[in-house]
Structure 1
Amino acid sequence: MVEQHEKTLVPQIRFAGFTDPWEQRKLGEVAHFINGRAYSQNELLSSGKYPVLRVGNFYTNDSWYYSNLELEDKNYAYEGDLLYTWSATFGPHIWHGNKVIYHYHIWKVQLEAALEKLFAFQLLERDKERILSDKNGSTMVHITKTGIENTSVLMPCSVEEQRRIGAFFDRLDSLITLHQRKYDKLCVLKKSMLDKMFPKGGSLYPEIRFAGFTDPWEQRKVGEVAYGFEYGLNAAASDFDGEKKYLRITDIDDQTREFRTDDLSSPDINNPIDDKYLLKEGDILFARTGASVGKTYLYKASDGKTYYAGFLIRAHVSDEADAGFIFQSTLTERYKQFVLLTSQRSGQPGINAQEYADLLLPLPSLSEQRRIGAFFDRLDSLITLHQRKLELLRNIKKSMLDKMFV
């Protein structure tokens, strides 16, 4: 029985040289959660000697308040301190910044020698949901200092093993942060370039153009350079059959507008499906109703044999225009304003096929359209690449947390 119990206290993956079972300890035995200070409104200043770190500064970069109060050393957070936000939003943070006073809804975590900081950070993050759940399994809106210090956790007896585990996940977190920053910068770059490479307001000249193009753009209805505007297949979704993919509004990624393949399905139809619902190169889909009205997707042959669902409208771009350019036009502020104004209904918001066909877009020459479409296609590929790397790294971290912790 003892041997069986010890097996349950051994992680699935370990660094070489570590074989002892992990031990169960109460957090309060190896860490002390020091309360932050509450402030009256007149104690918080717009400027002062010490910045006051609040929960919002971790998550939304809220504007800072300051204090001129001189406090005990325990009331300050320094570079490298482990902190824990315990109300409204929850979880551990390692503070990277100058000396600050931490606010009431933050604890400073003072560790005993038996618990290594980087390991403690990962442990608190991994066990967050369990720590914040009551005996009935419901999530609490806050946790008390006594509550968290009485929480039992499993940890290696060896501080060196803790150090190795903490360092491993710290490097993994650094990679995730690196790709997140690259992804965020690329998204900001794309937003900026959409703003500058497409005319604003009633202008027919963009702010930035490729060399050699000087003619004004012209206003054209989408229905003049695309045809079809057909509603999709009215069928439920079933398990993916390995061949026929079914594209619904929810399958279009909100950020990249790529076809999400993490939950593929097929149309739930026994009879042969009419090929008119099969997407082909040059097709653009428009969401026609609900909260996602206006959402668009450009079909690519690499997405495979794909049928589109009934809450989508398909338009096929003719040879007079570049499908990539038309698609990018639907990501501009001008298009967003069209959706906002046109979708207003007495009930659920919606835009019908004729309204999409009547949408006015400024169009340059076909050769300029192709240059712009190709530019954004390459940028989108980079964005998608970093998004997929992010997802891969996050999945790796989730898997390794399961396997390297008990």
Structure 2
Amino acid sequence: MVEKAKVPAIRFKGFTDDWEQRKAADIFKTIADKGYPELPVLSASQEYGMIRRIETGINIHHDTRNEIGYKRVQKGQFVIHLRSFQGGFAHSALEGITSPAYTVFAFIEKDKHYDYFWKFIFNSEDFIKSLELITYGIRDGRSISFEDFSTLSICFPSYKEKKQIGLYFQELDKLITLHQR
């Protein structure tokens, strides 16, 4: 929910409060934690978020000595990657390292947020459309800076409601995955 009404049209029972509106800069901070070459290398996937590079099916050759400069991504953090302008930000359910070209970010106050709620916000059509306002470059070379993202106003509910929404979408994801097998 970006720059919209502070009360969504559909709610879980028991929730009536307005959603809070804040700038992304008040919610998130960038992380540039390097020096963990022993962790698995992660790649950003539009469909699955951050996944182990070996699971991409693409043999990407790189000098492993450079991995000391890769950024650590922890569970519950997000990544702005080269295709974020098309598919939103990648959520990480894994700990690993990723390209220094990516921007890793996390909650300023982790105990007030539920990462799976934000996972679905950051991959929603409305959010991806809002990224058009802050992308720069042309065609496939469009980029998103954390600084520009941090200027966006975002509406969100209480922690309890965020968690209920996040859990609901997690369950939907599991059901979809089961039916696709």
Q: TM-score, normalised by structure 2?
A: 0.77
Instruction: Tell me the equivalent position of 2:72.
Output: 278
1:227 aligns to what SS in structure 2? strand
Q: Given the superposition, is the C-alpha separation of residues 281 and 334 from structure 1 closer, same or farther in structure 2, using an over 3 Å criterion?
A: same
Q: Given the superposition, is the C-alpha separation of residues 262 and 332 from structure 1 closer, same or farther in structure 2, using an over 3 Å criterion?
A: closer
Q: Given the superposition, is the C-alpha separation of residues 270 and 201 from structure 1 closer, same or farther in structure 2, using an over 3 Å criterion?
A: closer
Whole-angstrom CA distance in 2 between matches of 1:386 and 1:256: 16
Q: Do the aligned residues in 1 keep the contact of 2:71 with 2:100 (CA within 8 Å)?
A: no
Q: Given the superposition, is the C-alpha separation of residues 207 and 272 from structure 1 closer, same or farther in structure 2, using an over 3 Å criterion?
A: closer
Q: Do the aligned residues in 2 keep the contact of 1:283 with 1:315 (CA within 8 Å)?
A: yes
Identity score, percent? 24
Instruction: Tell me the equivalent position of 2:100.
Output: 310
Q: How does 1:109-128 map to 2 (within 5 A)?
A: none
Residue in structure 1 matching 2:122, options 330, 333, 344 = 330
Q: Do the aligned residues in 2 keep the contact of 1:231 with 1:313 (CA within 8 Å)?
A: no
Q: Given the superposition, is the C-alpha separation of residues 327 and 222 from structure 1 closer, same or farther in structure 2, using an over 3 Å criterion?
A: farther
Instruction: Tell me the equivalent position of 1:342.
Output: 134
Return the offset for 1:344: 3.5
Whole-angstrom CA distance in 1 between matches of 2:61 and 2:147: 28
Q: Which has the higher contact order (CA 8 A, sep 6+)?
A: 2
Q: Do the aligned residues in 2 keep the contact of 1:256 with 1:384 (CA within 8 Å)?
A: no
Whole-angstrom CA distance in 2 between matches of 1:256 and 1:271: 25
Q: Given the superposition, is the C-alpha separation of residues 220 and 376 from structure 1 closer, same or farther in structure 2, using an over 3 Å criterion?
A: same
Q: Given the superposition, is the C-alpha separation of residues 255 and 300 from structure 1 closer, same or farther in structure 2, using an over 3 Å criterion?
A: closer
Residue identity in the other structure for 2:99: A
Say if 2:112 is the partner of 1:320: yes
Return the offset for 1:255: 3.3
Q: Do the aligned residues in 2 keep the contact of 1:278 with 1:308 (CA within 8 Å)?
A: yes
Instruction: Tell me the equivalent position of 1:360.
Output: 153
Q: Do the aligned residues in 1 keep the contact of 2:72 with 2:97 (CA within 8 Å)?
A: yes
Residue identity in the other structure for 1:213: F
RMSD: 3.2
**How many aligned residue pairs are there?**
173
Whole-angstrom CA distance in 2 between matches of 1:202 and 1:284: 23
Return the offset for 1:333: 2.8
Say if 2:43 is the partner of 1:248: yes
Return the offset for 1:232: 8.6
Q: Do the aligned residues in 1 keep the contact of 2:2 with 2:130 (CA within 8 Å)?
A: no
Return the offset for 1:258: 5.9
Return the offset for 1:201: 5.9
Return the offset for 1:267: 6.1
Whole-angstrom CA distance in 2 between matches of 1:200 and 1:354: 17
Residue in structure 2 matching 1:268, options 43, 63, 66 = 63
Q: Given the superposition, is the C-alpha separation of residues 258 and 308 from structure 1 closer, same or farther in structure 2, using an over 3 Å criterion?
A: closer
Task: Give 5+ residue unaligned stretches, structure 1.
Answer: 1-198, 234-242, 390-406
Residue identity in the other structure for 2:102: L
Q: How does 1:148-167 map to 2 (within 5 A)?
A: none
Whole-angstrom CA distance in 2 between matches of 1:382 and 1:286: 27
Q: TM-score, normalised by structure 1?
A: 0.37
Q: Do the aligned residues in 1 keep the contact of 2:121 with 2:127 (CA within 8 Å)?
A: yes
Q: Do the aligned residues in 2 keep the contact of 1:232 with 1:312 (CA within 8 Å)?
A: no
